[in-house]
Amino acid sequence: MNPVQFYKCLADDTRLRTLLLIVHEGELCVCELTAAMDLSQPKISRHLALLRGADLLQDRRQGQWVFYRINPALEGWAKSILQETLQANRHFIEADLRNLIQMGDRPLRATLCC
Amino acid sequence: MNPVQFYKCLADDTRLRTLLLIVHEGELCVCELTAAMDLSQPKISRHLALLRGADLLQDRRQGQWVFYRINPALEGWAKSILQETLQANRHFIEADLRNLIQMGDRPLRATLCC
DNA sequence: GCATTATATATGGAAAATCGCATATTCAAA
DNA sequence: TTTGAATATGCGATTTTCCATATATAATGC
């Protein structure tokens, strides 16, 4: 993973918030990200496609939803930098997390299903 | 320091190499950076101005040279991320470091002067 | 089985931001 | 004053961003 490519992915408000939210929550679907950040679906979708194309994110379809998580194959230093960025900048996604908690009808994860 | 602004600074080939070279060497002047990366002076100068404007770099004039170093007041997490990026991507500036070593007539640092 | 709804993805194209060369200017030393 | 080095700026070219819209896919209702 080229470090410049990696940092280009982080150098955008929507993408960085998306990544930090996913690091914090483990896995999120598009509708949850839309609700958390209060942004249009196409906008989020386009940025997710970019992050997936750069191999930072992995997607998993479950029913009608597509869940995104950090690509487990991402190099260690890159994962570590995402973690460190979150720890030092929790305030950056504070409001988004509040929106997420207040969101009604959040889709259930497979792990919570029977 | 806004994390998006910080990562915008790292999301460019010239700027990231500049930062990693300075982290590695402690302090470098413009002519050394020009020789190491084999890039035009205006190009490097413009990027240095941007990094200084974002408070990532600090400059110090000594005689005819201006030396750049990481701003000591930079937040800890940001410094730490620069260090970690360097450790995991030494190859990224390997050729530049070779050019630097081969460079003749490198300006002397104040600490080496009488 | 078929239509409907909800969700995600893809694309055209305009607006904005970024980049980098060429050039001019500033500053300090000899 | 002249020279070497850094900084500033105009401007074209490229890249990025984002809205509007269209398409694809899966679940739901009849």
Measured CA distances, B105 to A41, A70, B114 (Å): 57, 48, 18
Q: Residue A111 pLDDT > 60, yes or no?
A: no
Percent of chain A with pLDDT over 90: 72
CB atoms within 10 A of CB B28: 22
Residue A110: band (very low, low, confident or very high) from pLDDT cuts 50, 70, 90: low
Cβ of residue B37 lies below 7 Å from strand D: no
Contact residues, chain A, for B84 at CB < 8 Å: 77, 80-81, 84
Is residue A17 within 8 Å of residue A99, measured between CB atoms? no
Average pLDDT over residues B2-7: 96
- In this complex, the residue of B8, B16, B77 whose CB is nearest that of residue A3 is B16
pLDDT at A62: 83
Rounded to 5 degrees, φ, ψ at B70 are: -65, 135
Distance CA A61 to C1' C2 in A: 25
Q: How far apart are CA A2 and CA B71, in angstroms?
A: 25
Q: Which chain A residue lies closest to B88 (C-alpha atoms)?
A: A77
- In tens, the pLDDT along A83-102 reads 999 999 999 999 999 998 88
Q: ipTM for the complex?
A: 0.91
Mutate to test the interface with A, among B13, B19, B77, B92 (most CBs of A within 10 A): B77
Q: For A15-58, write each residue's pLDDT tens digit.
A: 999 999 999 999 999 989 999 999 998 999 999 999 999 999 99
Q: A9: nearest CA in chain B?
A: B11
Q: Å between A113 CA and C10 C1'?
A: 32
- The reported pLDDT for the residue numbered A23 is 96
Average pLDDT score over residue span B19-42: 93
Distance CA B8, CA A71 (A): 22
Asked whether residue B112 carries a pLDDT value surpassing 60, the answer given is: no
Half-sphere exposure of B96 (CA within 13 A, CB side): 24
Round to whole Å and give the CA distance between B79 and B81.
Answer: 5
Say how far B40 CA is from C18 C1', in Å. 18
Q: If you average pLDDT over every residue of chain A, what do you get?
A: 89
% of chain A with per-residue pLDDT over 70: 92
Quick check: A103 pLDDT over 90?
no
Please report the pLDDT score of residue B63 as a whole number. 82
- Burial bucket for residue A18 (CB in 10 Å: 0-12, 13-18, 19+): buried
The mean pLDDT of B73-91, rounded to a whole number, is: 97
Instruction: Report whether CATH 1.10.10.10 matches the domain B3-101.
Output: yes
Pick among 1.20.1560.10, 3.30.1300.10, 1.10.600.10, 1.10.10.10: CATH of A3-100? 1.10.10.10
Instruction: Report residues 37-96 of A contacting strand D, contact meaning Cβ closer than 7 Å.
Output: 40, 42-43, 46-47, 50, 61, 63-64
CA–CA gap between residue B71 and residue B79 (Å, rounded): 9
pLDDT band at B103 (very low <50, low <70, confident <90, very high): confident
What pLDDT does residue A104 have?
Answer: 65
User: What pLDDT is attached to residue A113?
Assistant: 36
Confidence of residue B113 (pLDDT cuts 50, 70, 90): very low
Which residues does A107 contact at the CB level (< 8 Å), separation at least 6?
A29, A31, A32, A63, A65
- Count residue pairs from A and B with Cβ separation < 8 A: 57
